[in-house]
Structure 1
Amino acid sequence: MKPASTLSIVVPAFNEAATIHRILDRVKAVELIGNLQKEILIINDCSTDDTEGAIDRYVRQNPDLNIRYHRHPQNLGKGAALHTGIRLATGEYLIIQDADLEYDPREYNELLQPILDGFADVVYGSRFQGSKPHRILFFWHTLGNKFLTTLSNAFNNLNLTDMETCYKLFRTRQLQSLVLREQRFGFEPEVTAKISRIPGIRIYEVGISYYGRTYQEGKKIGWRDGFRAIYCILKYGM
Protein backbone atom coordinates (compact mmCIF):
# COMPACT_ATOMS: atom_id res chain seq x y z
CA MET A 1 0.00 0.00 0.00
CA LYS A 2 1.28 3.45 -0.92
CA PRO A 3 2.07 5.50 2.21
CA ALA A 4 -0.15 8.52 2.85
CA SER A 5 1.12 11.86 1.54
CA THR A 6 1.31 14.92 3.75
CA LEU A 7 0.10 18.51 3.48
CA SER A 8 2.48 20.93 5.18
CA ILE A 9 0.54 23.85 6.64
CA VAL A 10 2.83 26.84 7.23
CA VAL A 11 1.49 29.25 9.85
CA PRO A 12 3.44 32.52 10.25
CA ALA A 13 2.51 34.19 13.53
CA PHE A 14 3.28 37.60 15.00
CA ASN A 15 1.31 38.74 18.05
CA GLU A 16 -1.58 36.33 17.46
CA ALA A 17 -2.06 35.10 21.03
CA ALA A 18 -5.77 35.90 20.87
CA THR A 19 -6.50 33.76 17.81
CA ILE A 20 -3.73 31.18 17.32
CA HIS A 21 -5.53 28.46 19.31
CA ARG A 22 -8.75 29.07 17.39
CA ILE A 23 -7.15 28.74 13.97
CA LEU A 24 -5.31 25.61 15.11
CA ASP A 25 -8.62 24.13 16.25
CA ARG A 26 -9.99 24.75 12.76
CA VAL A 27 -6.95 23.20 11.10
CA LYS A 28 -7.20 20.20 13.43
CA ALA A 29 -10.87 19.66 12.55
CA VAL A 30 -10.28 19.41 8.80
CA GLU A 31 -10.35 15.93 7.29
CA LEU A 32 -8.23 16.09 4.16
CA ILE A 33 -9.16 14.34 0.93
CA GLY A 34 -6.81 11.84 -0.68
CA ASN A 35 -5.92 10.31 2.69
CA LEU A 36 -3.51 13.21 3.26
CA GLN A 37 -1.94 13.72 6.67
CA LYS A 38 -1.23 17.13 8.21
CA GLU A 39 2.10 18.65 9.20
CA ILE A 40 1.60 22.02 10.94
CA LEU A 41 4.63 24.32 10.98
CA ILE A 42 4.18 27.36 13.23
CA ILE A 43 6.77 30.09 12.77
CA ASN A 44 6.65 32.65 15.60
CA ASP A 45 8.24 35.82 14.23
CA CYS A 46 9.47 37.02 17.64
CA SER A 47 6.04 37.97 18.99
CA THR A 48 5.94 40.40 21.91
CA ASP A 49 2.63 39.14 23.33
CA ASP A 50 1.81 35.64 24.67
CA THR A 51 1.80 33.93 21.27
CA GLU A 52 4.53 31.53 22.37
CA GLY A 53 2.70 30.65 25.59
CA ALA A 54 -0.55 30.09 23.69
CA ILE A 55 1.21 27.76 21.24
CA ASP A 56 2.96 25.86 24.03
CA ARG A 57 -0.33 25.31 25.86
CA TYR A 58 -2.01 24.16 22.66
CA VAL A 59 0.76 21.68 21.82
CA ARG A 60 0.64 20.20 25.32
CA GLN A 61 -3.15 19.84 25.11
CA ASN A 62 -2.95 18.20 21.64
CA PRO A 63 0.00 15.78 21.80
CA ASP A 64 -1.26 13.70 18.87
CA LEU A 65 -1.29 16.66 16.47
CA ASN A 66 1.78 16.88 14.24
CA ILE A 67 2.92 20.41 15.15
CA ARG A 68 6.46 21.66 14.57
CA TYR A 69 7.33 24.97 16.21
CA HIS A 70 10.10 27.44 15.37
CA ARG A 71 10.72 30.89 16.87
CA HIS A 72 12.72 33.65 15.21
CA PRO A 73 15.06 35.36 17.70
CA GLN A 74 14.12 38.72 16.20
CA ASN A 75 11.19 40.04 14.17
CA LEU A 76 12.04 39.56 10.50
CA GLY A 77 8.65 39.86 8.75
CA LYS A 78 5.97 37.56 7.35
CA GLY A 79 8.00 36.67 4.27
CA ALA A 80 10.93 35.60 6.42
CA ALA A 81 8.62 33.43 8.54
CA LEU A 82 7.33 31.80 5.37
CA HIS A 83 10.88 31.17 4.15
CA THR A 84 11.58 29.31 7.38
CA GLY A 85 8.39 27.26 7.13
CA ILE A 86 9.02 26.40 3.48
CA ARG A 87 12.56 25.28 4.27
CA LEU A 88 11.38 23.05 7.14
CA ALA A 89 8.40 21.52 5.32
CA THR A 90 8.53 17.79 4.57
CA GLY A 91 5.08 17.25 3.04
CA GLU A 92 4.43 16.60 -0.64
CA TYR A 93 2.14 19.65 -0.74
CA LEU A 94 2.30 22.98 1.11
CA ILE A 95 -0.30 25.63 1.92
CA ILE A 96 0.06 28.96 3.71
CA GLN A 97 -2.29 29.65 6.62
CA ASP A 98 -2.34 33.01 8.39
CA ALA A 99 -2.73 32.79 12.17
CA ASP A 100 -5.73 35.12 12.21
CA LEU A 101 -9.28 34.05 11.34
CA GLU A 102 -9.59 35.63 7.88
CA TYR A 103 -9.32 32.33 5.95
CA ASP A 104 -11.23 29.08 6.50
CA PRO A 105 -9.19 25.83 6.66
CA ARG A 106 -12.31 23.88 5.70
CA GLU A 107 -11.54 25.05 2.15
CA TYR A 108 -8.18 23.23 1.93
CA ASN A 109 -9.84 20.39 0.07
CA GLU A 110 -11.16 22.72 -2.61
CA LEU A 111 -7.62 23.91 -3.28
CA LEU A 112 -6.24 20.37 -3.14
CA GLN A 113 -8.75 18.92 -5.61
CA PRO A 114 -7.22 20.28 -8.87
CA ILE A 115 -3.79 19.04 -7.80
CA LEU A 116 -4.95 15.60 -6.70
CA ASP A 117 -6.97 15.29 -9.91
CA GLY A 118 -3.75 15.81 -11.87
CA PHE A 119 -4.62 19.16 -13.43
CA ALA A 120 -2.64 21.68 -11.34
CA ASP A 121 0.75 22.21 -9.71
CA VAL A 122 -0.22 25.44 -7.90
CA VAL A 123 -3.66 26.58 -6.74
CA TYR A 124 -4.51 30.09 -5.55
CA GLY A 125 -7.61 30.75 -3.45
CA SER A 126 -9.32 33.85 -4.84
CA ARG A 127 -11.32 36.17 -2.58
CA PHE A 128 -12.75 37.86 -5.67
CA GLN A 129 -14.53 35.01 -7.39
CA GLY A 130 -17.14 32.45 -6.41
CA SER A 131 -20.26 32.71 -4.29
CA LYS A 132 -18.76 32.17 -0.82
CA PRO A 133 -19.17 34.82 1.94
CA HIS A 134 -16.85 37.82 1.91
CA ARG A 135 -16.75 40.44 4.64
CA ILE A 136 -17.26 43.98 3.30
CA LEU A 137 -14.41 46.21 4.44
CA PHE A 138 -12.06 48.66 2.71
CA PHE A 139 -12.71 50.12 -0.76
CA TRP A 140 -9.16 51.39 -1.29
CA HIS A 141 -7.63 48.17 0.03
CA THR A 142 -9.69 46.13 -2.45
CA LEU A 143 -8.87 48.52 -5.28
CA GLY A 144 -5.18 48.25 -4.38
CA ASN A 145 -5.33 44.46 -4.41
CA LYS A 146 -6.93 44.44 -7.85
CA PHE A 147 -4.38 46.94 -9.18
CA LEU A 148 -1.46 44.86 -7.86
CA THR A 149 -2.94 41.68 -9.30
CA THR A 150 -3.42 43.31 -12.72
CA LEU A 151 0.12 44.68 -12.71
CA SER A 152 1.50 41.27 -11.67
CA ASN A 153 -0.52 39.57 -14.39
CA ALA A 154 0.83 41.94 -17.02
CA PHE A 155 4.44 41.20 -16.10
CA ASN A 156 3.97 37.45 -15.61
CA ASN A 157 1.45 36.77 -18.41
CA LEU A 158 -1.15 35.37 -16.01
CA ASN A 159 -4.87 35.98 -15.49
CA LEU A 160 -5.15 35.60 -11.71
CA THR A 161 -7.90 37.49 -9.90
CA ASP A 162 -6.16 37.58 -6.47
CA MET A 163 -2.37 37.55 -6.45
CA GLU A 164 -2.24 38.84 -2.85
CA THR A 165 -4.29 35.99 -1.37
CA CYS A 166 -2.89 34.12 1.63
CA TYR A 167 -4.18 30.77 0.38
CA LYS A 168 -1.58 29.47 -2.05
CA LEU A 169 -1.13 25.72 -2.40
CA PHE A 170 2.07 24.36 -3.93
CA ARG A 171 3.91 21.16 -4.64
CA THR A 172 6.54 21.54 -1.94
CA ARG A 173 9.59 20.61 -4.00
CA GLN A 174 8.71 23.14 -6.68
CA LEU A 175 8.36 25.87 -4.07
CA GLN A 176 11.58 24.85 -2.31
CA SER A 177 13.42 25.07 -5.64
CA LEU A 178 12.87 28.84 -5.70
CA VAL A 179 15.29 31.36 -4.20
CA LEU A 180 12.97 33.68 -2.28
CA ARG A 181 14.28 36.93 -0.82
CA GLU A 182 11.41 39.16 0.27
CA GLN A 183 11.18 39.40 4.07
CA ARG A 184 7.77 41.04 4.41
CA PHE A 185 4.59 41.18 2.32
CA GLY A 186 6.63 41.33 -0.88
CA PHE A 187 6.56 37.55 -0.66
CA GLU A 188 3.28 37.41 -2.61
CA PRO A 189 4.38 39.14 -5.84
CA GLU A 190 7.83 37.55 -5.66
CA VAL A 191 6.61 33.97 -5.32
CA THR A 192 3.98 34.55 -8.01
CA ALA A 193 6.59 35.85 -10.46
CA LYS A 194 9.07 33.08 -9.74
CA ILE A 195 6.62 30.17 -9.66
CA SER A 196 5.12 31.33 -12.97
CA ARG A 197 8.53 30.96 -14.63
CA ILE A 198 8.94 27.26 -13.85
CA PRO A 199 8.68 25.53 -17.27
CA GLY A 200 5.34 23.82 -17.75
CA ILE A 201 3.88 25.01 -14.42
CA ARG A 202 0.09 24.70 -14.21
CA ILE A 203 -1.53 27.40 -12.06
CA TYR A 204 -5.21 27.23 -11.10
CA GLU A 205 -7.57 29.37 -9.02
CA VAL A 206 -10.61 28.47 -6.91
CA GLY A 207 -13.03 30.83 -5.16
CA ILE A 208 -12.75 31.00 -1.37
CA SER A 209 -14.51 32.84 1.44
CA TYR A 210 -12.91 35.78 3.27
CA TYR A 211 -13.56 36.86 6.84
CA GLY A 212 -11.39 39.97 6.84
CA ARG A 213 -10.50 41.91 9.95
CA THR A 214 -10.05 45.62 10.57
CA TYR A 215 -6.86 47.30 11.75
CA GLN A 216 -8.43 47.58 15.20
CA GLU A 217 -8.88 43.81 15.11
CA GLY A 218 -5.22 43.24 14.25
CA LYS A 219 -4.76 43.62 10.47
CA LYS A 220 -1.11 44.46 9.81
CA ILE A 221 -0.60 45.18 6.10
CA GLY A 222 -0.39 48.90 5.25
CA TRP A 223 0.13 51.33 2.39
CA ARG A 224 3.92 51.01 2.58
CA ASP A 225 3.54 47.30 1.82
CA GLY A 226 1.53 48.23 -1.26
CA PHE A 227 4.38 50.35 -2.61
CA ARG A 228 6.82 47.54 -1.82
CA ALA A 229 4.58 45.13 -3.74
CA ILE A 230 4.76 47.41 -6.81
CA TYR A 231 8.54 47.46 -6.51
CA CYS A 232 8.64 43.66 -6.24
CA ILE A 233 6.38 43.19 -9.27
CA LEU A 234 8.70 45.36 -11.32
CA LYS A 235 11.85 43.78 -9.90
CA TYR A 236 10.89 40.12 -10.23
CA GLY A 237 8.65 40.48 -13.26
CA MET A 238 11.29 41.89 -15.57
Structure 2
Amino acid sequence: MSTTFPDEVDRAALDGFAERYGDRRFASVVVLIAAYDEQDALGAVLDGMPAESCGLDVDTLVVVDGATDDTAEVALRHGALTCVAPRNRGQGAALRLGYRLAAERGARYLVTTDADGQYDIAELPELLQPLIDDEADFVTGSRTLGRTESTDLVRRAGTHVFAWLVSALTRQKITDTSFGFRAMKIEVPNSVRLEQRQYQSSELLVGVLARGYRVLEKPMTMLVRAAGQSKKGGNLLYGYSYAKVVLGTWLRERRSAPQPQDRPAAERISEPAAAVPER
Protein backbone atom coordinates (compact mmCIF):
# COMPACT_ATOMS: atom_id res chain seq x y z
CA MET A 1 0.00 0.00 0.00
CA SER A 2 1.49 3.32 -1.01
CA THR A 3 1.11 6.16 1.47
CA THR A 4 1.93 9.85 1.45
CA PHE A 5 2.85 11.90 4.49
CA PRO A 6 1.17 14.01 5.55
CA ASP A 7 -2.30 13.02 4.40
CA GLU A 8 -5.44 14.79 5.55
CA VAL A 9 -5.61 12.79 8.80
CA ASP A 10 -1.99 13.59 9.62
CA ARG A 11 -2.53 17.28 8.90
CA ALA A 12 -5.60 17.45 11.12
CA ALA A 13 -3.71 15.69 13.94
CA LEU A 14 -0.68 17.97 13.60
CA ASP A 15 -2.85 21.09 13.51
CA GLY A 16 -4.63 19.97 16.67
CA PHE A 17 -1.32 19.27 18.40
CA ALA A 18 0.03 22.71 17.47
CA GLU A 19 -3.15 24.34 18.73
CA ARG A 20 -2.80 22.58 22.08
CA TYR A 21 0.97 22.90 22.60
CA GLY A 22 2.13 25.73 20.35
CA ASP A 23 5.77 25.36 19.31
CA ARG A 24 6.79 23.31 22.35
CA ARG A 25 10.02 21.40 21.81
CA PHE A 26 10.46 17.81 22.97
CA ALA A 27 12.95 16.37 25.41
CA SER A 28 15.97 14.47 24.10
CA VAL A 29 14.13 11.18 24.60
CA VAL A 30 10.54 10.66 23.47
CA VAL A 31 8.60 7.55 24.44
CA LEU A 32 5.99 7.09 21.72
CA ILE A 33 2.75 5.17 22.27
CA ALA A 34 0.17 4.55 19.54
CA ALA A 35 -3.17 3.98 21.27
CA TYR A 36 -6.56 2.89 20.00
CA ASP A 37 -9.39 2.27 22.49
CA GLU A 38 -7.00 1.70 25.41
CA GLN A 39 -8.69 3.81 28.08
CA ASP A 40 -8.56 1.01 30.65
CA ALA A 41 -4.85 0.20 30.35
CA LEU A 42 -3.22 3.44 29.27
CA GLY A 43 -3.37 5.35 32.56
CA ALA A 44 -1.26 2.84 34.47
CA VAL A 45 1.29 2.72 31.64
CA LEU A 46 1.65 6.51 31.66
CA ASP A 47 1.92 6.68 35.45
CA GLY A 48 4.96 4.40 35.22
CA MET A 49 6.85 6.59 32.75
CA PRO A 50 10.08 8.12 34.07
CA ALA A 51 10.84 11.83 33.75
CA GLU A 52 14.45 11.00 32.93
CA SER A 53 16.55 8.02 31.89
CA CYS A 54 20.30 7.59 31.42
CA GLY A 55 20.75 11.22 32.44
CA LEU A 56 18.41 12.55 29.73
CA ASP A 57 14.96 14.12 30.05
CA VAL A 58 12.06 12.00 28.80
CA ASP A 59 8.75 13.11 27.25
CA THR A 60 5.87 10.74 26.61
CA LEU A 61 3.93 11.22 23.37
CA VAL A 62 0.63 9.41 22.83
CA VAL A 63 -0.77 9.33 19.30
CA VAL A 64 -4.45 8.48 19.63
CA ASP A 65 -5.47 6.54 16.55
CA GLY A 66 -9.08 7.68 16.07
CA ALA A 67 -10.24 6.07 19.30
CA THR A 68 -13.95 5.62 20.04
CA ASP A 69 -13.50 5.70 23.83
CA ASP A 70 -11.80 8.09 26.28
CA THR A 71 -8.21 7.20 25.34
CA ALA A 72 -7.34 10.83 24.52
CA GLU A 73 -8.82 12.13 27.77
CA VAL A 74 -6.90 9.52 29.76
CA ALA A 75 -3.64 10.47 28.01
CA LEU A 76 -4.15 14.15 28.77
CA ARG A 77 -5.21 13.51 32.35
CA HIS A 78 -2.07 11.48 33.01
CA GLY A 79 0.24 14.15 31.63
CA ALA A 80 1.22 12.78 28.23
CA LEU A 81 1.74 14.97 25.20
CA THR A 82 -1.27 13.93 23.15
CA CYS A 83 -1.76 13.98 19.37
CA VAL A 84 -5.22 12.91 18.22
CA ALA A 85 -5.83 11.51 14.74
CA PRO A 86 -9.49 12.06 13.81
CA ARG A 87 -9.81 8.68 12.09
CA ASN A 88 -8.57 5.17 12.91
CA ARG A 89 -5.97 3.98 10.41
CA GLY A 90 -3.86 1.43 12.29
CA GLN A 91 -0.83 1.31 14.55
CA GLY A 92 1.65 1.75 11.71
CA ALA A 93 0.09 5.01 10.53
CA ALA A 94 -0.09 6.33 14.11
CA LEU A 95 3.57 5.51 14.78
CA ARG A 96 4.65 7.07 11.50
CA LEU A 97 2.90 10.27 12.55
CA GLY A 98 4.68 10.12 15.90
CA TYR A 99 8.08 9.56 14.28
CA ARG A 100 7.69 12.71 12.19
CA LEU A 101 6.33 14.81 15.03
CA ALA A 102 9.17 13.82 17.36
CA ALA A 103 11.79 14.61 14.72
CA GLU A 104 10.25 17.98 13.90
CA ARG A 105 10.22 19.01 17.55
CA GLY A 106 13.79 18.20 18.45
CA ALA A 107 13.92 14.68 19.90
CA ARG A 108 17.25 12.85 19.59
CA TYR A 109 16.13 9.36 20.57
CA LEU A 110 12.80 7.66 20.10
CA VAL A 111 11.41 4.76 22.11
CA THR A 112 8.26 2.86 21.20
CA THR A 113 6.12 0.93 23.65
CA ASP A 114 2.51 -0.23 23.76
CA ALA A 115 -0.52 1.18 25.55
CA ASP A 116 -1.53 -2.19 26.98
CA GLY A 117 1.13 -2.61 29.65
CA GLN A 118 2.90 -5.60 28.07
CA TYR A 119 6.38 -4.09 28.38
CA ASP A 120 8.37 -3.24 31.51
CA ILE A 121 9.35 0.42 31.36
CA ALA A 122 11.96 -0.24 34.06
CA GLU A 123 14.01 -1.87 31.29
CA LEU A 124 14.20 1.43 29.35
CA PRO A 125 17.87 2.18 30.22
CA GLU A 126 18.93 -1.13 28.67
CA LEU A 127 17.46 0.03 25.36
CA LEU A 128 18.63 3.62 25.56
CA GLN A 129 22.23 3.39 26.76
CA PRO A 130 23.63 1.63 23.64
CA LEU A 131 22.31 4.51 21.52
CA ILE A 132 23.85 7.13 23.78
CA ASP A 133 27.15 5.24 23.71
CA ASP A 134 26.89 4.98 19.89
CA GLU A 135 27.08 1.20 20.00
CA ALA A 136 23.90 0.84 17.92
CA ASP A 137 21.40 2.82 15.88
CA PHE A 138 18.39 0.64 16.70
CA VAL A 139 17.92 -1.43 19.88
CA THR A 140 15.07 -3.88 20.27
CA GLY A 141 14.00 -6.08 23.12
CA SER A 142 13.65 -9.83 22.70
CA ARG A 143 11.35 -12.10 24.64
CA THR A 144 13.32 -15.05 23.26
CA LEU A 145 16.50 -13.86 24.96
CA GLY A 146 14.49 -12.74 27.98
CA ARG A 147 11.13 -14.15 29.01
CA THR A 148 7.43 -14.04 28.19
CA GLU A 149 4.33 -14.56 30.31
CA SER A 150 2.24 -15.50 27.29
CA THR A 151 0.57 -18.89 27.36
CA ASP A 152 -0.46 -18.77 23.68
CA LEU A 153 1.62 -21.57 22.20
CA VAL A 154 0.79 -20.60 18.61
CA ARG A 155 2.01 -17.04 19.08
CA ARG A 156 5.11 -18.26 20.89
CA ALA A 157 5.90 -20.64 18.05
CA GLY A 158 5.26 -17.86 15.55
CA THR A 159 7.87 -15.69 17.25
CA HIS A 160 10.52 -18.32 16.51
CA VAL A 161 9.30 -18.96 12.95
CA PHE A 162 9.38 -15.30 11.95
CA ALA A 163 12.73 -14.76 13.67
CA TRP A 164 14.14 -17.60 11.57
CA LEU A 165 12.57 -16.18 8.39
CA VAL A 166 13.87 -12.62 8.90
CA SER A 167 17.31 -13.92 9.87
CA ALA A 168 17.43 -16.05 6.73
CA LEU A 169 16.29 -13.21 4.46
CA THR A 170 18.53 -10.50 5.92
CA ARG A 171 21.48 -12.76 6.85
CA GLN A 172 21.56 -11.18 10.27
CA LYS A 173 20.68 -13.03 13.45
CA ILE A 174 17.36 -11.86 14.91
CA THR A 175 15.53 -13.66 17.71
CA ASP A 176 12.33 -11.58 17.97
CA THR A 177 10.88 -9.55 15.09
CA SER A 178 7.73 -8.17 16.72
CA PHE A 179 8.82 -6.92 20.13
CA GLY A 180 7.23 -3.48 20.41
CA PHE A 181 9.60 -2.04 23.03
CA ARG A 182 12.37 -0.51 20.92
CA ALA A 183 14.69 2.48 20.93
CA MET A 184 16.32 4.19 17.98
CA LYS A 185 18.12 7.32 16.90
CA ILE A 186 15.55 9.79 15.63
CA GLU A 187 16.75 9.69 12.02
CA VAL A 188 16.31 5.92 11.72
CA PRO A 189 12.51 5.53 11.41
CA ASN A 190 12.28 8.70 9.35
CA SER A 191 14.75 7.38 6.76
CA VAL A 192 13.04 4.02 6.24
CA ARG A 193 10.16 3.58 3.81
CA LEU A 194 7.10 2.77 5.92
CA GLU A 195 3.80 1.90 4.27
CA GLN A 196 2.03 -0.54 6.56
CA ARG A 197 -0.87 0.81 8.57
CA GLN A 198 -1.12 -2.12 10.95
CA TYR A 199 1.56 -4.83 10.94
CA GLN A 200 4.45 -2.37 10.97
CA SER A 201 6.94 -3.86 13.45
CA SER A 202 8.50 -6.22 10.91
CA GLU A 203 8.43 -3.60 8.15
CA LEU A 204 10.51 -1.23 10.25
CA LEU A 205 12.94 -3.93 11.38
CA VAL A 206 13.50 -5.36 7.90
CA GLY A 207 13.90 -1.85 6.50
CA VAL A 208 16.40 -0.90 9.18
CA LEU A 209 18.46 -4.04 8.56
CA ALA A 210 18.34 -3.58 4.79
CA ARG A 211 19.67 -0.04 5.07
CA GLY A 212 22.71 -1.03 7.07
CA TYR A 213 21.82 0.39 10.45
CA ARG A 214 23.43 -1.25 13.46
CA VAL A 215 20.82 -3.36 15.23
CA LEU A 216 21.21 -4.71 18.75
CA GLU A 217 18.90 -7.05 20.67
CA LYS A 218 18.52 -7.04 24.45
CA PRO A 219 16.83 -9.68 26.63
CA MET A 220 13.53 -8.23 27.85
CA THR A 221 10.22 -9.21 29.41
CA MET A 222 6.87 -9.67 27.66
CA LEU A 223 4.07 -9.31 30.21
CA VAL A 224 0.42 -10.23 29.88
CA ARG A 225 -1.89 -7.49 28.65
CA ALA A 226 -3.09 -5.32 31.55
CA ALA A 227 -6.60 -4.74 30.14
CA GLY A 228 -8.60 -4.79 26.93
CA GLN A 229 -8.10 -6.96 23.86
CA SER A 230 -5.52 -7.19 21.11
CA LYS A 231 -6.41 -5.39 17.87
CA LYS A 232 -4.26 -7.72 15.73
CA GLY A 233 -6.88 -10.37 15.06
CA GLY A 234 -6.77 -14.14 15.48
CA ASN A 235 -3.64 -16.22 15.09
CA LEU A 236 -4.35 -17.30 11.49
CA LEU A 237 -5.04 -13.79 10.21
CA TYR A 238 -2.15 -12.35 12.19
CA GLY A 239 0.30 -14.96 10.91
CA TYR A 240 -0.76 -14.54 7.28
CA SER A 241 -0.66 -10.74 7.42
CA TYR A 242 2.67 -10.70 9.24
CA ALA A 243 4.30 -13.08 6.76
CA LYS A 244 3.01 -10.99 3.86
CA VAL A 245 4.56 -7.86 5.34
CA VAL A 246 7.91 -9.55 6.04
CA LEU A 247 8.26 -10.92 2.52
CA GLY A 248 6.87 -7.82 0.83
CA THR A 249 9.21 -5.49 2.70
CA TRP A 250 12.24 -7.67 2.02
CA LEU A 251 11.49 -7.80 -1.71
CA ARG A 252 10.88 -4.05 -1.85
CA GLU A 253 14.06 -3.20 0.03
CA ARG A 254 16.11 -5.66 -1.98
CA ARG A 255 15.09 -3.84 -5.17
CA SER A 256 15.38 -0.28 -3.91
CA ALA A 257 17.73 0.08 -0.94
CA PRO A 258 21.07 1.66 -1.94
CA GLN A 259 24.22 -0.29 -1.22
CA PRO A 260 26.65 1.34 1.25
CA GLN A 261 29.12 2.21 -1.51
CA ASP A 262 26.35 4.02 -3.44
CA ARG A 263 25.39 6.35 -0.59
CA PRO A 264 26.79 9.85 -0.06
CA ALA A 265 29.70 9.70 2.36
CA ALA A 266 27.83 11.66 5.02
CA GLU A 267 25.04 9.10 5.03
CA ARG A 268 27.20 5.98 5.15
CA ILE A 269 27.27 3.79 8.20
CA SER A 270 29.96 1.29 8.96
CA GLU A 271 29.40 -2.20 7.60
CA PRO A 272 26.16 -3.70 8.95
CA ALA A 273 26.75 -5.52 12.20
CA ALA A 274 24.78 -8.61 13.02
CA ALA A 275 22.29 -8.18 15.78
CA VAL A 276 24.23 -9.17 18.87
CA PRO A 277 22.25 -10.87 21.59
CA GLU A 278 23.43 -9.87 25.03
CA ARG A 279 22.61 -11.58 28.29
Q: Shorter-chain TM-score: which interval?
A: 0.7 to 0.9
Are 2:208 and 1:195 aligned? yes
Give the Cα separation in 1 of the matches to 2:172 and 2:78.
40
Query: Which amino acid letter does the alignment assign opposite residue 230 of structure 2?
Result: K
Picking from 110, 118, 121, the partner of 2:134 is 118
Cα distance, 1:118 vs structure 2: 2.4
Check 1:12–1:104 CA distance in 2 against 1; reply closer, same or farther (3 A cut).
same
Between the aligned residues of both structures, percent identity stands at 27
Give the Cα separation in 1 of the matches to 2:202 and 2:112.
15
Give the Cα separation in 1 of the matches to 2:31 and 2:52.
13
Look up the match of 1:94: 110
Structure 2 unpaired stretches of 5+: 1-25, 252-279
| Structure 1 ranges of 4+ moved more than 6 A | none
Query: Which amino acid letter does the alignment assign opposite residue 95 of structure 1?
Result: V
Q: Deviations over 1:40-97 (max 9, x none)?
A: 21111111111122123223xxxxxxx4211111110111111111110131111111
Give the Cα separation in 2 of the matches to 1:129 and 1:181.
29
Picking from 165, 168, 180, the partner of 2:179 is 165
Are 2:232 and 1:221 aligned? yes
Look up the match of 2:277: none
Cα distance, 1:22 vs structure 2: 0.7
Check 1:113–1:57 CA distance in 2 against 1; reply closer, same or farther (3 A cut).
closer
Give the Cα separation in 2 of the matches to 1:233 and 1:170.
20
Picking from 13, 27, 32, the partner of 2:35 is 13
Q: How does 1:45-84 map to 2 (within 5 A)?
A: 45-59=65-79, 67-84=80-97
Structure 1 unpaired stretches of 5+: 60-66
Look up the match of 1:208: 220
Give the Cα separation in 2 of the matches to 1:58 and 1:168.
22
Cα distance, 1:39 vs structure 2: 2.2
Give the Cα separation in 2 of the matches to 1:148 and 1:212.
21
Relative to structure 2, which stretch is displaced further, 219-228 or 40-49? 219-228
Look up the match of 1:36: 56
Cα distance, 1:159 vs structure 2: 0.8
Query: Which amino acid letter does the alignment assign opposite residue 167 of structure 2?
Result: N
What secondary structure, in the 3-state scheme, does the structure 1 residue paired with 2:77 have? helix
Aligned residue pairs, count: 221
Look up the match of 2:157: 143
- Residues 155 and 233 in structure 1, CA contact (< 8 A), matched pair in contact too: no
Check 1:9–1:75 CA distance in 2 against 1; reply closer, same or farther (3 A cut).
same
Give the TM-score of the pair, scaled to structure 1: 0.86
Q: CA RMSD in A?
A: 1.9
What secondary structure, in the 3-state scheme, does the structure 1 residue paired with 2:225 have? coil
What secondary structure, in the 3-state scheme, does the structure 1 residue paired with 2:136 have? coil
What secondary structure, in the 3-state scheme, does the structure 2 residue paired with 1:19 have? helix
Give the TM-score of the pair, scaled to structure 2: 0.74
Cα distance, 1:217 vs structure 2: 4.2
Give the Cα separation in 2 of the matches to 1:115 and 1:100.
25
Query: Which amino acid letter does the alignment assign opposite residue 67 of structure 2?
Result: S
- Residues 203 and 246 in structure 2, CA contact (< 8 A), matched pair in contact too: yes
Cα distance, 1:30 vs structure 2: 5.7
- Residues 116 and 228 in structure 2, CA contact (< 8 A), matched pair in contact too: no
What secondary structure, in the 3-state scheme, does the structure 1 residue paired with 2:230 have? coil
Cα distance, 1:179 vs structure 2: 2.1
Check 1:139–1:30 CA distance in 2 against 1; reply closer, same or farther (3 A cut).
farther
What secondary structure, in the 3-state scheme, does the structure 2 residue paired with 1:149 have? helix
- Residues 47 and 78 in structure 2, CA contact (< 8 A), matched pair in contact too: no
Are 2:45 and 1:23 aligned? yes
Q: Flag the structure with larger Rg.
A: 2
